[in-house]
Amino acid sequence: MNKTYTTIGAALLAALLLAAGAFYVGHKTAEQPMGASMAAPSATSTTPAAPAIEGRKVLYWHDPMVPGQRFDKPGKSPFMDMQLVPVYADGAGVGAGGAGGGEGVKISPSVQQNLGIRYANVRRAEASTSFDAVGSVQFDERLSVAVQTRVAGYVEHLSVRAPMERVRKGQALATVFAPEWLAPQNELLALKRSGVSSDLVAAARDRMRAMSIPAELIRRSEETGTAQARYVLAAPADGVVAELGVREGVAVAPGTTLFRIAGLEKVWAVAEIPEAHAVRLVRGQKVKAVLQADAAQSFDGTLDEILPQVDTATRTLKARFSVDNPGGRLVPGMLLRLQVAGAAGTRLVVPAEAVIRTGRRAVVIVRKADGAFEPHDVSLGADLGDDIEVAAGLADGDQVVASGQFLIDSEARLRSVLGNMAATALHKAEGKVESVAPDGITISHGPVATLKWPSMTMGFGKASPDAFAEIKPGDTVRFEFREGGPNGYELVSVQRVQSPRQGTKP
C-alpha cells in the first residue's frame, strides 16, 4: 500500500513540475514585446536552412506568407514557425521585376510559340516630325481696306451692288453728291475771275484740300469754270467686296464706311494643331498647301501665328498660315491640306505595338540575354506612325516583345498582384488570447484555410492602442485579420466566444 501511494505521489509531483514549466514558458512568451519577434533571422541560426540547389544563384530569401520582406541570409522566418525560402536568379519564385532590377520571368520556347510571341529590335531610324493638318481658308485681314466718305452727302449711284463681287483697282464703286463742296469751289472760281494775287488763289486751294475735296475734282472745276459736287469713289485695290455698307439714294455722313474690300493676293489657312505638334512649330516655317478638292493644285505658305489659346475639349491650338493665292483661286471656306515639314534626324525607335500604356506610364517587355523577360519603364517621344520614339529607358540593340507582351507582363506581375490581393483580403480564424499589448495581441489559433496556415501561435497588430480593449488574456475569440501593419498582419475584428471561466465547476 505504501509503495502504491509513493508511486502516485511521484506521478503527481512530475505533473505539477510539468505544468509549472509550461506556465513559466507561456508567461515569458506573453511578456515578450510584439516587435521582438520581428528581428531578422541570424545567419548562425541553429535551425537548418532550406538547402539551395547547386548551380543556381540565390537572389534573396523570403517567407512565402509575407512575400514583401526579403532577407540576404537563410534561416528561420521571424513571422512564422517555418524556414525562409530561397528565390533564384533563373526566375523560380520571382515575381514582377522592376526596370533594371535584375529579375525577370522565363517562359519555355514551346509556350512562347503557342502564345505567338514576336520580337523586335530597338533601332535608330531616320525620322522627321512632319505632319499634315486640315485648314480652312479665310481672308487675310491685313489686306483689307475700307472705302469711306469724308463729307456729308448722298449716294446718287452704286456701281457695285452686291457683296463678294470682285473688283479691280481704280474701278468705280459709287457716285456721291456733296453739296458742301459747292461753296469753296465757287469761291475759288470767283477769286480767279477777279484777278487777285496768286497767294489768295493758293490759299483757297489749300482750304479745299483740307475739306478732303479730291484734287481731280478741283482741277475739273477750274477747267470748266463750274463747281463740281459729284465725285466717284474708286476701288483702292484689287479684291472682293467683303462688306457693302450703303444702298443707292441713302445719305452718308463723314467717316461712314461704304465698302470693305478684302485682298486676294494672299489668304489665311486656319488649322487646329494638336499640342504635341504645336510645341515644335516656329513662326516663318514653310508649308505646302494642297487643295482638298483637287490634289493637283498646290500653294506655298508660311506659318504666321500660333494663337495663344488651347481648346480644352480637343487639346488643340489654332495656327494661322499665310498662303499665296495666284489668280485668286482660293476663296473663304475652301479646305486645304497643310503639309508641315519638321526637322529630320536619327531617333531611337521601337514598334508602337510593343508599348504597354497604363495611363501613368509606358512599359515595354525586354528580352534579356539569358532568355528571361523583364519590364522596363520608358519615356516616349514623337509618334512616328508604326514606330514611336523612345527618349529614355532603352538602348540601341535591345530586344523587345512586339506581340504577346501583355501575357508576359501578366506573368511577371502575378506574385505582385497576388500579394496585393492578400493585403486587402480578410482572413478568419479562432483561437485563444495569450497576451495583450498596446501594439498587438498574441493568439494561439487554429488552421487558416485561406492562407493554408497550420495551427500556430503568433502576434497580430492593432490599428490603435485602444482597439479591442475588452479582450483579455485567456479569452477564446473569433477574429478577422488582413495583411499589413508593422507586424505583417493586422486585426480587423475580434469577438469573444467563450469567457475564461465559462464551463468550469466550483
pLDDT in tens, 132-173: 899 999 999 999 999 998 889 999 999 999 999 999 999 999
Cell of 196: 487777285
Model's pTM, two decimal places? 0.49
**Would you list the DSSP string of 18-58?**
HHHHHHHHHHHHHHS-GGGGGSPPPTT-SSPPPPPPTT--E
**Residue 408: its pLDDT value, please?**
67
Residue 238 has pLDDT above 80, yes or no: yes
Report d(CA 493, CA 357) in Å as an integer: 39
Question: In CATH, what class is 109-128+345-412?
Answer: mainly beta
Q: DSSP 3-state assignment of 386?
A: coil
**What is the per-residue burial (b if ≥16 Cβ within 10 Å, else e) of 164-202?**
ebebeeeeebbbbebeebeebbeebbebeeeeeeeeeee
| Fold (topology level) of 141-262 | OB fold (Dihydrolipoamide Acetyltransferase, E2P) (2.40.50)
**Residue 56: its pLDDT value, please?**
61
What letter represents residue 254's amino acid? P
**Residue 344: its pLDDT value, please?**
67
**Residue 412: its pLDDT value, please?**
55
**Would you list the DSSP string of 53-82?**
PTT--EEEEEETTEEEEEESS--B-SSSSS
- 228, 109 contact by CB (below 8 A): no
**419-498 carries CATH number 1.20.1440.230:** no
Q: Residue 158: in which H helix or E strand, if any?
A: strand 153-158
Share of the chain above pLDDT 90, in %: 28
pLDDT in tens, 6-56: 433 444 444 444 444 443 434 434 344 433 333 333 333 334 444 444 556
The domain limits of the chain are 2-88, 109-128+345-412, 141-262, 419-498
Please determine whether the domains at 109-128+345-412 and 141-262 fall in the same fold group of CATH.
no
Mean pLDDT of 349-372: 84
**Residue 116: its pLDDT value, please?**
77
DSSP 143: G
Residue 259 has pLDDT above 90, yes or no: yes
Give the mean pLDDT of the chain.
78
Report d(CA 388, CA 350) in Å as an integer: 6
- 17 phi and psi angles, rounded to 5 deg: -65, -40
Q: How confident is the model at residue 413 (pLDDT cuts 50, 70, 90)?
A: low
pLDDT in tens, 69-126: 778 888 888 877 777 877 765 544 433 333 333 456 666 676 677 667 888 999 988 7
Residue 300, number of CB atoms within 10 A of its CB: 12
